[in-house]
């Protein structure tokens, strides 16, 4: 690159926009320059989370104590709706089952209909109209695509890849916390 632009500028810009996956064109630029990129973001209070084996990277806001002067938060925390959280938990569990049953580290590919079948029993009772409930599930699936947790498969139409970043966002501790909250919610609802 010319004009004093950093050789890893595209990777930095993509990270500021969201997740970089191994099949993105910025992945090589990121992995080759990861030390410089980590230092770049560290100076502004951000941490690069890069999982080479799973093939994804994203930015996290560094934790600061109350006494520290922390920079303005750049990485927005998304408040997931109840139904989107339910889908995330179920897909995370499905990913665990897939990894346990598969001898290779492949990709979990599901059709949108398989995801609907997986989650439809967990949607509130007021959505008993099947068409209305499926529309709500499709809306939530589109949110997960927007957030980078699901991605349309380029090779086969109408199939979605469950992205492994769900494992980092919903680690075992967080997964158990959410499950406990969902159980509490279900008890209150009955």
Token duo for residue 15: 């990270």
Answer for the pair 150, 160: CB distance below 8 angstroms, yes or no.
yes
pLDDT for 15 equals 93
Mean pLDDT along residues 161-177: 86
Mean pLDDT along residues 85-101: 90
Q: With CA atoms as reference, report the closest residue to 121 among 80, 77, 90.
A: 90
C-beta atoms surrounding 28 within 10 Å: 11
Token duo for residue 121: 């029993």
Residues contacting residue 128 through CB under 8 Å, at least 6 positions apart: none
pLDDT for 105 equals 62
N-term to C-term CA, the chain: 61
- Please report how the helices 82-101 and 130-147 are oriented relative to each other, as an axis angle in degrees rounded to 10: 70
Q: Categorize the per-residue pLDDT at 76 as very low, low, confident or very high, splitting at 50, 70 and 90.
A: low
| pTM, rounded to two decimals | 0.73
What's the mean per-residue pLDDT of the chain? 85
pLDDT in tens, 111-164: 999 999 988 887 765 656 888 888 889 999 999 998 889 999 877 778 999 998
Answer for the pair 85, 178: CB distance below 8 angstroms, yes or no.
yes
**Alpha carbons 180 and 182: distance in angstroms, whole number:** 5
Residue 63, CA distances (Å) to 37, 41, 60, 69, 175 in order: 19, 14, 9, 11, 21
Q: Categorize the per-residue pLDDT at 80 as very low, low, confident or very high, splitting at 50, 70 and 90.
A: confident
pLDDT in tens, 17-35: 888 999 899 999 999 999 9
pLDDT score of 37 more than 90? yes
Residue 88, CA distances (Å) to 35, 73, 168 in order: 31, 25, 12
pLDDT in tens, 52-70: 988 999 998 887 777 776 7
- Which region, left, alpha or beta, applies to residue 45 given φ > 0 means left and ψ of -120 to 50 means alpha? left
More confident residue, 183 or 74: 183
pLDDT for 33 equals 96
pLDDT score of 78 more than 80? no
Least confident of 5-14, 45-54, 169-178: 169-178
Helix (H, G, I), strand (E, B) or coil at 129: coil
pLDDT for 30 equals 96
Q: ∠ CA(27), CA(101), CA(99), 5° rounding?
A: 25
Answer for the pair 119, 90: CB distance below 8 angstroms, yes or no.
yes
More confident residue, 55 or 182: 55
Answer for the pair 89, 110: CB distance below 8 angstroms, yes or no.
no
């Amino acid at each position: 690159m010319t004009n004093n632009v950093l050789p890893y500028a595209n990777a930095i810009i993509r990270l500021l926009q969201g997740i970089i996956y191994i099949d993105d064109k910025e992945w090589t630029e990121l992995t080759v320059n990861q030390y410089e990129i980590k230092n770049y973001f560290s100076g502004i209070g951000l941490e690069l989370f890069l999982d080479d084996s799973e093939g994804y990277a994203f930015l996290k806001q560094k934790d600061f104590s109350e006494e520290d002067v922390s920079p303005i938060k750049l990485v927005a925390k998304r408040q997931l709706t109840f139904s989107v959280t339910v889908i995330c938990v179920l897909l995370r569990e499905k990913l665990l089952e897939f990894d346990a049953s598969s001898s290779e580290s492949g990709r979990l590919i599901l059709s949108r209909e398989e995801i609907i079948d997986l989650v439809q029993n967990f949607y509130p009772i007021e959505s008993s109209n099947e068409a209305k409930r499926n529309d709500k599930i499709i809306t939530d699936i589109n949110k997960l695509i927007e957030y980078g947790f699901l991605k349309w498969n380029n090779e086969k139409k109408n199939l979605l890849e469950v992205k492994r970043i769900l494992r980092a966002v919903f680690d075992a501790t967080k997964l158990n916390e959410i499950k406990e909250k969902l159980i509490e919610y279900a008890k209150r609802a009955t």
